[in-house]
Structure 1
């Protein structure tokens, strides 16, 4: 997640800043300004109220969910995070491999926004790994703690092995752990190197790694980078029209074929980097080719032979224009899924 620059030099950092990376490029000819066109103050205010309200509702109902069976509680959480993301005006598309129904997994993904957390919770729920500062965030920190988040004190390098052991214990017990190995948020136009520490937990527990690629369109609308305040990020999101999150679930990576955590981290980083979700293609207008009238060439006139006049049969020349007509083309347009298929989740 983003935040102020930490004093420890070993901490991962990204060059992305709010002023440079969350601005949207200007519109092309005949296009709307991508994502920069506000949905209107009223609509943005409604989205913001709905999103925050759905988060608070989940917080109020969280204690009661402890009485439910594990399967019912998990289904309720997944439905809730979908509602949260949709309330903020984000449509979600899931593609790629089918998400495993159960079983231990180390889920790793590129990190763009606080929205990454609810997006993953809707399809691959598990214990989140987050920086210790998240624990003190208003509302969201409480939800993160209730969700069993594993907090990392990034200023204390000596605490990292203990966090890795806790992750390995969760995986060995059949649970899932979700981590963002880049260690910091990036704007989505570029990504960082996957740090190998969290992958040691997968090797120690004999657990597969599940890479996931997350993309937002328009790029920058959901980015939460640098020292961007959470309030500014929320308003930019709700004031942007047609925000779509593409979540691509990739093939799992077995740790057996990798000698160490660095090799495993490099394999996961390569899989995520190569799985760029293609942008939806807007069909270009089809201009029919000009239809030219077929010319009719009169048959040559030959002199009539001598003798009785033959019977003349009238003939009609048929002009065929089929070669001049354009072929019909079918343009398929990707459409984002409605709220029922969208995933949302609370930042941790």
Structure 2
């Protein structure tokens, strides 16, 4: 783990910095902007999500007959394309794109409304309240959207690479999962997902908001919109900080959503212990490279698209 990045996160989170006063966000604009941003980000970055998931499914688990063993992200990508074709790295993409669009919409809507409620009488938001707003937004998206969409995505990827694949696609796979496991089948790993999403949003929004406010202050721009290049860079930095601080939660989440999770793990803590015993502590950062790649671009894309779409909607409404 990169301690310099952890230190940067802690400083950005707890430094007694107060964000400048902002006008209350329009709920409809936040929902639309977040949804558009999430859909675009999910489609663009999906291959990295596929590679991350494949690597994590092998962390602390036994290989099925005929299943490929990967030595790293590049090896995973090459072997998958060589064995199953280019289309294989987009397995489960529809579940993630749909879920990502809904997730981002819910995330930005929840964050903006909660942040507005937590502002003081001068319209300012302290660092600790910003963390709380991000945490609540992450928990909300985990319950409403992320858990079912990511469980289905993970099962589709795991099934595609098993000895006897049974899912023919998103709709067929989802119907079979619910038929065989009930509605609880698509809510597998709810607790680690809530923990991961809560931590993700708390870290990402706090890092982004703090860095954005500092850049605006440095440029003497007040609350004015920043150029797209600056927004992308700030969002990418927030993505880097998020990856290194929340990776263990992501690994446990993926393992708990695998096809054989019910037979292997009693709960999230049992999963964590077994993964560490089997492959060591560093296995909790399995898939960091592809997830880092994705979240660097994810942070840049999501925040940039969100800001642009929101500003366009707001400007059109004011005319």
TM-score range, shorter chain: under 0.3
TM-score (norm 2): 0.25
TM-score (norm 1): 0.24
Q: Which has the higher helix share?
A: 2
